[in-house]
Amino acid sequence: MSFVLTINGRDHPVDASPETPLLYVLRDDLRLNGAKFGCGLGQCGACTVQVDGKAAYACLLPVAAAAGRRIRTVEGLGTAEAPSPLQKAFMVEQAAQCGYCIAGMIMRAQALLDATPRPTEAEIRAHMQPNLCRCGTHMRILRAIRRAAGLPVEAASA
């Protein structure tokens, strides 16, 4: 079946069976690398994108349910040459080890900052809870989010 996906402000016609999770369409049809396969079960957040402004697991969002909605991926924030403020904060904080989780982290954090520009420490941690990092980069990810939000980079008490 044909669908039109609105991704990062542009319409993309795609041809896929309606149940196909958005993740595979993004990666394989549209050649976008940001969203990653981590579990396919909505447990790790490596595939996180924004749908109508909210953080969503692309691995569990059928393309039929994604059509007609505003989809945003990490590629829509900025580029290596012109990164968005949040991407820039991740670079400044050197907030990656293997980095496999990072695009999903950025997209989930961006959804928080869009809704709550100056979140508390507890709000940041609660919001980021769905996304896993195995390298233990959490402290730097938190610093990057605080930096992008204009908060003191070191942790306040949660």
Partner 1 sequence: MSLGWKTPAPPAAALALALAACTGGARLPPPPPQTFSAAEIEKGAELAKLADCQGCHTADGGQAFAGGRPLKSPFGTIYTRNITPDPSTGLGRYSREAFVRALRRGVRFDGAELYPAMPYDHFAYADDADLGALYAYLMTRRPKDRPPTPNELIPPANIRGAVAIWKALFFHPGRFQPTPGQSAEFNRGAYLVQSLGHCGACHTPHNILDAEETKKPLQGGVQEGWYAPPLNALSPASVPWTPERVYRFLRTGFDRDHSAAAGPMGSVVRELARAPEPDVRALSVYLATLMQPASAAKGRAAPADHAAQAAAAQPAGAALYAGACAACHDAGAAMMREGRPPLQFATPPQEDRPTDVIQVILQGVQPATGPRGPYMPAFAGTLSDGQVAAIAAYVRARYSDRPPWKDLTSAVAKGRRQGGQG
Partner 2 sequence: MSVGAPSRRDALAGGALVVAFSMTGHARAQEARGPQKTVPPALPGSLKTTPWLDAWIRVDVTGQITVFTGKAELGQGIKTALIQIAAEELDVPPQSLRLITADTGQTPNEGFTAGSHSMQDSGTAILNAAANVRMILGQAAARRLGVAADLLATTGEGRFKAPDGRLAGYGELAAGLSLHVEAQPNAPLRSRQGGKLMGQDYPRVDIPAKVTGGQAYVQDLRLPGMLHARVVRGPSFGTELTGPDFAAAQAMPGVVAVARNGRFAAVIAEREWTAVQALQRLQQAAWRRTAPPLPEGRPEAGLSGASQDQVIFDKPGGAGGAKTVKARYSRPWLMHAAVGPSCAVALLRNGQMTVWTHSQGVYPLRGALAQLLRMPPDKVRCIHVEGSGCYGHNGADDVAADAALAALAVPGRPVRMQWMREQEHGWEPLGCVQVGEAEASLDASGRIAHFRYEVWSHSHNGRPMTAGGLVAGAEVDPPFPPQVPRPIPMPEGGGDRNAIPIYAVPAGRVVSHFVRDAPLRASALRSLGAHLNIFAIECFMDELAKAAGADPVAFRLAHLDDPRARDVVSRCAEAFGWAARRPSDGRRGAGFAFARYKNLASYCAVALEVEVEHETGAVKVGRVTAAVDAGEAVNPNGLQNQIEGGIVQALSWAGLEAVGFDAAHRTSFDWSAYPIARFKDVPRSVAVQVIDRPGLPFLGAGEASQGPASAALANAVADACGARIRDLPLSPERVKGAIGV
Query: Contact positions toward partner 2, by CB under 8 A?
Result: 16-17, 20-21, 24, 27-28, 31-34, 36-41, 43-44, 46, 73-75, 77-80, 83, 87, 90-91, 94-103, 106, 124-126, 128-140, 142, 154-155, 157-158
Q: Which span sits near partner 1 by CB under 8 A: 5-13, 17-25, 29-37, 139-147?
A: 17-25
Distance (Å, rounded) from C-alpha 97 to C-alpha 87?
15
From partner 1, partner 2, none, which one binds at residue 46 (CB under 5 to 8 Å depending on kind)?
A: partner 2
How many Å separate Cα 30 from the centre of its chain?
A: 17
Residue 134 as a binder of partner 1 (CB under 8 A): the answer is no
Nearest of 134, 120, 48 to residue 145 by alpha carbon: 120
Residue 134, SS3 per DSSP: coil
Distance (Å, rounded) from C-alpha 22 to C-alpha 31?
12
Q: How far is the CB of 5 from partner 1 (least distance, A)?
A: 14
